[in-house]
Structure 1
Amino acid sequence: MKKVNLSKNIIDEVSINEEKCIGCNLCMKECPMSQEIQISPKDIMKSVKDNNNIDISIPFSCTFCSSCTSKCPRDIDLSSMYNKIRKDVFKKDKKSVNNFGYATVRFHQKSSYSSIFTGSNIPNGCTSVFFPGCSLSGYSKEIVDNTFKYLSSKIDNLGLLLTCCGKPSLDIGDEKSFESNFQSIIDILEKNGIEEVIVACSNCFNTIRDYGNVKVVSLWETFRNIGVPDRVHGIYKNSNIDVALHDPCPIRKENEIHESVRFILDEIGLKYKEFNKSKENTQCCGAGGMMMSTNRNVALKQMKLRAESTEASHIISYCESCVQSMITGGKKSLHILDFLFNDDVINSNIDTQGPRGVLSHWRERRKVATYARKSRNI
C-alpha cells in the first residue's frame, strides 16, 4: 500500500508515543483493526519515527473506539494519533483519501447540510433544542416526532434542530469542511439564544461538547430526569425477549449516560443482559471512524465479532448506527427509543429493525426535515 510522508509535528508526536510504549501489546487484544493489520503499534510508530512516513491504510483502518487507550498502561491515545495522521494526510495528499471513501463522506456531508435535509422549529423564548442527529433521523420520522412531542410536554419552549454535527468530516480528516459546517450550527444556536442541546447520538454528544460553546445533555440523562412516558412504564415486565445491551464506544467514559440508560430500561420493565465488555470496557460496533467507507473488511469483521460476543438473540442500543451494525453482524436489534415510541414494538408486532438502505435513510431524513420546518424561524 502507498506510503505517505508526514509532517514534522505529527512525526514528533508519534516519536513521543513510541518512546512511552513498552510494547506490551495489550491494546492489540481489543483493537478492531488488529484483526487485519497484525503489526504492533510499537513497530508502526517506530517505522514512522525512522522513515517519516506511514502506510496510508493504517490510520484509515482505525475505528477511533479508544479501546486501546482504555487498556494501555502508559495512557497512549492511539485513536487521537491516527485521527491527526488522517488530517495530515488529507492536507498533504487529498487524492489518496479518495481510495478510503472520501467521495461517500463528501456526498453525505453536502447532503446533510443542504436545505433539503435540514430544518428547525425554534419557538420564541426557546433556550433548549432537541438534536436527534443523522442516524436516528434516517431511521424513523415517527420516532423523532414522538420523542420531540414527549420532550415538549415536559420542557417548556423546546426547539428542534435537524442537521449533522459534522463528525464524518472530522473522521475522514477534512478539517476545513468540518469547521465551515459546524459554524453553521453555532450560528443557529447563537442567533436564537440557545443555551442547551439535548442529543440522542453519542457522536453528536462528543462533537458538540468539544467544539461548541453550549451545554450538551444526553437524551438519556434527560429521560432520567423527566421519566419515561406513562404508557410504557413497566409495560415490558412480562416480556420474554432475550436481549443484551450494547453501549456505544464514543461515550465509554460517560458513566452518567450508562446509568441513565439502565434506569430507562428498569422503568419500562425490560430485562436485559450485560455484555462481558460493557460501559467503559465496551467494544466498537464496527462503524466507528467511518469504517464502512474507509475499510469495509475491518468494519464487517468487527460487527460480526461484537454481535456474536453475546448469546442473546437480540441486541439493543442507544445508538442507531450500532443497531444497524448489530443487524449486519447477524443479530436482531432495536433502538431503545423503539421500546418507548414505536407502536409496532410496543404492541409486539415486530422484534427487530430491518437493514436500512441508503435511499430509505435519506427519504426518512427528508421527512424529518420537512416536519422540523413546519414552524421554521431561522
Structure 2
Amino acid sequence: MPVSKLLRKELQHTADECIDCGKCMTLCRFLAESGSPVSIALKGLASDDDVDNLSIRSYDCSTCGLCSAVCPVAAQPERMFKELRNHAQANGLFKLEQHSPLLKYEKLGRRFPFKGEFIPDGCTTVFFPGCTLPAMHPDSTRITYKILKRNDPLMGLVLNCCSKPSKMLGLKSRHEERLSTLVHHLERKGVKKILTACPNCHVTFKEFNTKLEIVSIYRKLKYLNFTPVRPKLKEVTVHDPCVTRYETEMHKDVRALLKAVGVRVVEMKHNRTKTLCCGEGGATQFYNKIYAKNWSRKRITEAHRTGVPMVTYCAGCVNFLGYNYPTAHVLDILMVKRKGIPKPVAFPFNYLNRLILRFSAR
C-alpha cells in the first residue's frame, strides 16, 4: 500500500535518531518483543510490505509515549507508531471489529440522549467533563459544575465526545471531521474558553490547534474560591495519566489541590513525565490483553510499594485500575464525602449516570 509522506518522515526520523540504547525496551514489553525503534523504522523504510505489517503490529502498542519520554536523544518513536495506525486505517489493513465497544461508546457520546449542552446567552466559558467522568463519577461532576456556576452564573455545560477513540485508533479523518464540527459549533455559540476535566479531552482539544482557550479544571480550581471536603485519606500516591505526560502544570495543580486539603503525596518511581500507562492506553486491551495487563501490573506494583491508595485525574484510569487496587478520582476526593474508595461503576449504571446528569444538570 502507498506510504504517506508523513509516515515516511516519521520512520526516517526514528531511523536517524534512535541509538538503539535499549532504555525504552527495558520498560515496554511491546518493544522488548518487537525490537528497538530503529530496527522497526529501518524495516519499514526497506519495504512497503513491511510497513503494512508494522501498521497492524502497531495495535499492540499502547501509544503511551514512555518510549519518547525516556529516550536520551529525542527519537520520539511514539509518533511513528501513531502514524502507522493512521496508515493501517487509511488503507483498510486492520479491521476494528474488536474495538467496536469503544467506537460505540464514542458514537453514543455524540448523540441524544447522552449528548447535551446548556449554553446561556452571554456565555463565553463552558465546562466539558468528557464521556467517562460523568459515567463513573456523576456526583463530583455535578458538584464541580455547581461550583463553577456559583462563581460564574453564565458558565455553560457541554456533554459531548471529543472523538479521542477515533484519533487513537488511526481514524484520523473521522476524528478531525467530528472535532472540527464540535469546535466550530461552540465558536458560533460565542464560546471562547473550554474547561476540561478529562485529560484526554484536554490534550485532544489542545492538539487540534483551536482558537478556543483550553484550560484544565484543576488549574481553575486551584485559584477558585470554593470549600472542598475534608477527605478521610491522609496519604495517597498520584497516578499521572500517560496522556498528560508533558502537561507539567497539570501535574503540579493536582498535587497542589491535594496538599491544600491536607493530603500528603507519596510519589511512585515513575511519575509525571515518566509515568506508566494504566493499561488502557492505545485501546490495546481490545487487541492484546496480555500487553494491557502487563502495564496495569507494573503500575499497581509501584503503587503497592508506596503502601497508600492511588489517586488519579482520569476516570478511565480509575476504571482500569480500581478493580485491583484502591484508586480514587481527585475530584471525588475534593468534592464528595466518602468513607472509603468505591469500586468503579459497572455497566449499565455508567450509562444511567450519564443520563441522570444530562437531565438534571441545569
TM (norm. structure 1) is 0.88
- For structure 2, the residue ranges without an aligned partner over 5 or more in a row are none
Instruction: Pick one of 313, 316, 327 that aligns with 1:333.
Output: 327
Instruction: Please give the per-residue CA displacement for 1:201-239, whole angstroms capped at 9, x wherever unaligned.
Output: 111111111212210000110011114x3252xx24xx4
One-letter amino acid of the structure 1 residue matched with residue 179 of structure 2: F
Q: 1:180 aligns with which of 169, 177, 182?
A: 177
Secondary structure of 2:322's aligned partner: helix
CA positional deviation for 1:242 = 4.8
CA contact (8 A) 2:285 2:292 kept: yes
Match of 1:122?
119
Partner of residue 46, structure 1: 42
Once the 2 structures are TM-superposed, how far is the Cα of residue 51 of structure 1 from its aligned partner? 2.3
CA gap 1:22/1:331 in 2 versus in 1, 3 angstroms: same
- 1:249-284 deviation line (CA, Å, top 9, x unaligned): 211222211111111111111122111121122111
Equivalent residue runs for 1:1-378 within 5 Å: 5=1, 7-9=3-5, 10-31=7-28, 33-34=30-31, 37-52=33-48, 53=50, 54-93=53-92, 96-98=94-96, 101-211=98-208, 212-227=210-225, 229-232=226-229, 235-236=230-231, 239=232, 242-310=235-303, 311=305, 312-328=307-323, 330-343=324-337, 345=338, 348=339, 351-372=340-361, 374=362
- For the residue of structure 2 that corresponds to 1:226, the secondary structure is coil
Q: Deviations over 1:320-377 (max 9, x none)?
A: 111122224x21111011112223x1xx2xx2231333322222222222235x5xxx
| Structure 1 residue identity aligned to 2:342 | Q
Does structure 2 retain, via aligned residues, the 8 Å contact 1:171–1:289?
Answer: yes
- Kept after mapping to 2: 8 A contact 1:304/1:326: no
Would the aligned equivalents of 2:62 and 2:282 in 1 still touch at CA under 8 Å? Answer: yes
Contact 1:199–1:218, Cα closer than 8 Å, also in 2: yes
Q: Deviations over 1:167-211 (max 9, x none)?
A: 000011112321232123113311211111000111111111121
RMSD over aligned CA atoms reads: 2.0
Partners of 1:57 and 1:186 lie apart in 2 by 31
The 1:14/1:122 distance shift into structure 2, 3 A limit, reads same
The share of aligned pairs that are identical, in percent, is 25
> Contact conserved, 2:255 with 2:265, CA < 8 A, in 1?
no
Cα gap change, 1:370 to 1:187, in 2 (>3 Å)? farther
Cα pair 1:6 1:89 within 8 Å, conserved: no
- Residue 6 of structure 1 contacts residue 85 of structure 1 at CA under 8 Å; is this kept in 2? no
C-alpha distance in 2 between matches for 1:272 and 1:8:
45
Cα distance in structure 1, aligned partners of 2:168 and 2:256: 32
SS in 2 for 1:352: coil
Give the Cα–Cα distance (whole angstroms) in 2 for the partners of residues 231 and 103 of structure 1. 39
2:135, 2:341 → 1: CA distance?
16
TM-superposed deviation, 1:97: 2.4
Structure 2 SS opposite 1:181 = helix
Q: Distance in 2 between matches of 1:240 and 1:319?
A: 19
> Structure 2 CA distance, aligned partners of 1:362 and 1:190?
28
| One-letter code aligned to 2:320 | S
Give the whole-Å Cα distance in 2 for the aligned partners of 1:148 and 1:12.
44
Q: Kindly provide the amino acid, as one letter, of the partner of residue 193 in structure 2.
A: E
Instruction: Give the length in aligned residue pairs.
Output: 355
Q: Distance in 1 between matches of 2:8 and 2:233?
A: 54
TM-score, scaled to structure 2: 0.91
Deviations along 1:134-193, one digit per CA (max 9) or x if unpaired, are 110111322211110011112241110110111000011112321232123113311211
